[in-house]
Amino acid sequence: MPLIEWGDFARVELRVGRVLSAEPLPKARKPAYVLQVDFGALGVKKSSAQITDLYQPAELVGKLVVAVVNFPKKQIGSLMSECLVTGFHDADGHVALCVPEREVPLGTRLF
């Protein structure tokens, strides 16, 4: 794996947000949810998240998540995704969300 410089990492805006809503994404090639995530002063952003194996929509509402907020918008099916919610693949290939261990202000940047 190639090494990166600190400046490369510093350009990635990883921020904490709170899931306001989670709904199935209709017509997705792979099952996914549409998440509305509140990033405080940065506003509310939409994301497509393929996390249906480990999470139900109701349990996602109110959960803090870590997302990349400075990627360009991306069309995913019928949704224009505005951020990338992060996670890790478990041993079965299902995505487990990357979440803060404690409450932090919305929009806080990860360093």
Residue 27 lies in a domain: yes
The mean of the pLDDT values for the chain is 96
91 lies in a domain?
A: yes
| Residue 17 structure tokens | 């947000």
pLDDT at 27: 81
Residue 71 confidence class, pLDDT cut points 50, 70, 90: very high
pLDDT at 91: 98
Question: 22-53 pLDDT, tens per residue?
Answer: 999 988 889 999 999 999 999 999 999 999 99
* CATH number, domain with residue 45: 2.40.50.140
5 in a structural domain: no
Residue 45 belongs to some domain of the structure: yes
Total domains in the fold of the chain: 1
In a domain, 7, yes or no: no
3-state class (DSSP) for residue 8? helix
Domain of 56 in residue numbering reads as: 13-97
Pair 107, 16: CB distance under 8 Å? yes
Is residue 65 domain-resident? yes
The pLDDT tens digits of the residues spanning 77-99 come to 889 999 999 999 999 999 999 99
Residue for token pair 């998440």: 35
Hey, how many other C-beta atoms are within 10 angstroms of the C-beta on 18? 17
